[in-house]
Structure 1
Amino acid sequence: MPEFPGQTHNFFWRERKALKELGVETSLISTRRPPLGVVSPTWAKDAQTETTYLFPFSFFDFLRAFIIMIRAGVCAWINCAKIITSVQDATLAGKVRLTLLIPFAAKLVWVSQRQGWRHVHVHSCADAANIAMLANALHGPTYSLTLHNPLSVYGPNQRQKWSRARFCIVITRKLYDEVTRTLVGFLPSRLVIAPMGVDVVQFNRHAPYRPYAGEGELCVFSCGRLNPSKGFPFLISAIKLLVDQGVNVRLTIAGEDDVGGTGYRRKLVALTAESGVSERVAFLGAVPEEIVSEHLEQAHVFVLASLAEPLGVALMEAMAMSVPVVATDGGGVPELIENGADGILVEPGDANAIAVAIMRVIGDPLFAVRLGQASRFKIVESFGHQRSARAIADLLAAR
């Protein structure tokens, strides 16, 4: 996993727990440590202690990598060279960068031999997958992939990474359609759909959901990385529209930007000031899922305004807590939410539509309760955290 444990990595930890329950013992390996400002889980310290990191490289790492590459032999070197030179969608600089990953691949081989690993499952299709692929070419462990986003997010060289994998998992039907359309002839024989999920025991209410009664503050909650793709400017604009209509609303956002608070967060804070809603919007930063659960317990509405959400663990967590959700219909979200039945879907980038949807929820308490109950039922039935773990366990057993 890249930069583990990050603020969105709770489902990795849940998946690992579920794998253990299925009898699959796992170890953790990551490319590097994440920035301190995005390390939020309560289990992060334990995870970092258990995790082997490929970067930074020590002198002894270079020595071990050199030994591994020598032992691999000329045929392995030629294989790596063929992989790199055959990449058709990378620039010369990209191929040089891929070459520079070989020592990290050799380190992965050395760690695998020391730990007795026979297989590595990669929760990424970018450099982490390149490293696993090159490690396999150096006579290292076999590997598999999980695709969490559109292929374009992960850069070039997808054909080689996918064709050499033992099996691959995609989290939505939309992503499945993309890879079967664009990677024809380069897919492994086993490709399955298995969404990540949430622990429905942990994400469960202590008290029944109470819809907004028109008195006090309307509590709107959102959770996600502070990234342009999450559409927070449109959510902030929607809050401004509600304030202008006289609604006593407060928006709380859990999540941090990718550099720990000194990047995109500053732009969002500035936007709240420009919009005149600074006192109506609170930024929590990266917080553990226990804090997320507490805020969901108090929320009247959960909103995720992403421009294109692959699926949405944050949405699943809110739905598991029986909170009515408003989300955009970009990406794979329609595979999670049926509009009007267990949530409300709006067009991405439409602040007015978000505001109208929030008003629809708070204007009909019975509708709000019905949405929350239906959403909880759907998550329990189809999006528990065991689902992806069971897919990995079954695919490993079949290999």
Structure 2
Amino acid sequence: MGVSVALFSTRPPPQGLISHDWSDEAMTRTTYLGDLSPLNSLAALPRLPLLALWRDLRQGGSGFARDVTVSLPAARRLAQAARARGITHVHAHSCGRAALICALANRIWGLDYSLTLHGPLSDYGPGQGFKWRHAAFGTVITRKLTRELRAALGDDTPKRLFLQPMGVDTEVLTRSTPYTPAAPDGPLRLFACGRLNVVKGHQDLLQAVRLLRDRGLDAKLEIAGEDDAGGTGFHAELQTELERLNLQDHARLLGAIDADAVRAKLEQAHLFVLASWHEPLGVAYMEAMAMGVPTIGTDAGGVPELITSGKDGLLVPPKRPDLLADAIAALAADPDRCRSFATTGRSRIVEGFSSARGARTLLDGLALKDDLHL
């Protein structure tokens, strides 16, 4: 779209999460702001309008003063880098620490910023009023979260707030071969993709697979994704559960795999299943549906804004492995419905959840000038 993009982050990702063929290039392009030097915090103090800033910060809540102190050096580095590169606006792709860094850079050094809400506001730490009230605009990924944000922020809600469900590249995520349902006498290939965290419900999906196998259905499951620690956290607990259920020969944890590998797994899958306890929206669902894979999810969070159960996928209650197993078995036994979901699911993503829509929302929100750089 003709926009020059500069990348900033607080720190490099853990080694176990570096999986894409473009990771090294992206890390080289990224300026990392992580800098906990007390001297840099002190260097910012003479520029602070202390009384005004105190009034701005005092309602931040427990732990907010610590977060501000830790974030000041990164805010200073961001402002310096933006000034050096002629950047006048930064978009924080989170309302966590990134948004605090941007808000501080705005209040002290005048850097314009915007931010995005991806999930429940309570997940992103204290000081949300401070983070949002000075933003040029905000974006939110679902209507449900937009309502919750307005109720929580009140007068601190930015005047300009846009629905931006992110989205996926539907030109890349497209099949090379037509979708084929599982054969009645063959294995049922299930695929899930998502961060290894208890709220993603992978343990419920493993239990559903155990139930299906006990019923005589040859269900095979692969789960792509890694925990936030790069493999030393919830991954081990999930592997233990897999072994407890005696699924060693029927289920695998793939860890972090690159985008091409995910695409290949989706093309091989008969069904995509994600059993999240709570999902603000679900990019993994979008990827699967864009690839024409019949998709089963949970009626949790913002997922119903993405999947209309019975029309372009199926939704079941979260934390119900028994109902999940029932839905998988019923859909696998209905090849015509599988083919229908493959078609209607992709249409749903192409029409409403293309990544180009998310990019255009940012550009429209900024009302970009010809020479403005992000």
Q: Does 1:84 align with 2:84?
A: no
Change in 2 beyond 3 A, CA 1:94/1:395: closer
1:322: Cα distance to partner? Answer: 0.8
Match of 2:95 among 81, 106, 125: 125
Equivalent position of 2:23 in the other structure: 44
1:23: Cα distance to partner? Answer: 2.2
Equivalent position of 2:200 in the other structure: 230
Change in 2 beyond 3 A, CA 1:79/1:34: farther
1:377: Cα distance to partner? Answer: 0.7
The TM-score with structure 2 as length reference comes to: 0.95
Q: Does 1:182 align with 2:152?
A: yes
Is the Cα contact below 8 Å between 1:109 and 1:138 reproduced in 2?
A: no
The TM-score with structure 1 as length reference comes to: 0.89
Change in 2 beyond 3 A, CA 1:182/1:57: closer
Equivalent position of 1:195 in the other structure: 165
Q: CA separation in 1, counterparts of 2:110 and 2:330? A: 56
Is the Cα contact below 8 Å between 1:32 and 1:56 reproduced in 2?
A: no
Is the Cα contact below 8 Å between 2:37 and 2:73 reproduced in 1?
A: no
Residue deviations 1:56-78 (CA, integer Å, cap 9, x gap): 4579xx56x655554x3x53x44
Equivalent position of 2:33 in the other structure: 54
1:24: Cα distance to partner? Answer: 1.9
Where in structure 2 are the equivalents of 1:1-399 lying within 5 Å? 22-56=1-35, 62=39, 69-70=45-46, 72=47, 74-75=48-49, 77-87=50-60, 90-91=61-62, 93-397=63-367
Residue deviations 1:78-117 (CA, integer Å, cap 9, x gap): 4433333232xx22x4323322322221111111111111
Q: How many residues align?
A: 369
Matched residue SS, 1:138: helix
Is the Cα contact below 8 Å between 1:69 and 1:138 reproduced in 2?
A: no
Matched residue SS, 1:55: coil
Q: CA separation in 1, counterparts of 2:51 and 2:255? A: 47
Partner amino acid, structure 2, of 1:356: D
Partner amino acid, structure 1, of 2:27: Q
Partner amino acid, structure 1, of 2:25: D
1:34: Cα distance to partner? Answer: 1.2
| Identity across matched positions, percent | 44
Residue deviations 1:233-285 (CA, integer Å, cap 9, x gap): 11000000011011111100000011011110100000011111121111110
Is the Cα contact below 8 Å between 1:211 and 1:368 reproduced in 2?
A: yes
Q: Which runs of 5+ in 1 are unaligned?
A: 1-21
Matched residue SS, 1:210: coil
Matched residue SS, 2:154: coil
1:195: Cα distance to partner? Answer: 0.5
Q: CA RMSD in A?
A: 1.6
Matched residue SS, 1:101: helix
Q: CA separation in 1, counterparts of 2:345 and 2:58? A: 49
Is the Cα contact below 8 Å between 2:44 and 2:72 reproduced in 1?
A: no
Residue deviations 1:137-191 (CA, integer Å, cap 9, x gap): 1123111011111101101111111111000000101111111111111111100
Is the Cα contact below 8 Å between 2:36 and 2:73 reproduced in 1?
A: no
Is the Cα contact below 8 Å between 1:233 and 1:268 reproduced in 2?
A: yes
Is the Cα contact below 8 Å between 1:112 and 1:140 reproduced in 2?
A: no
Partner amino acid, structure 2, of 1:396: L
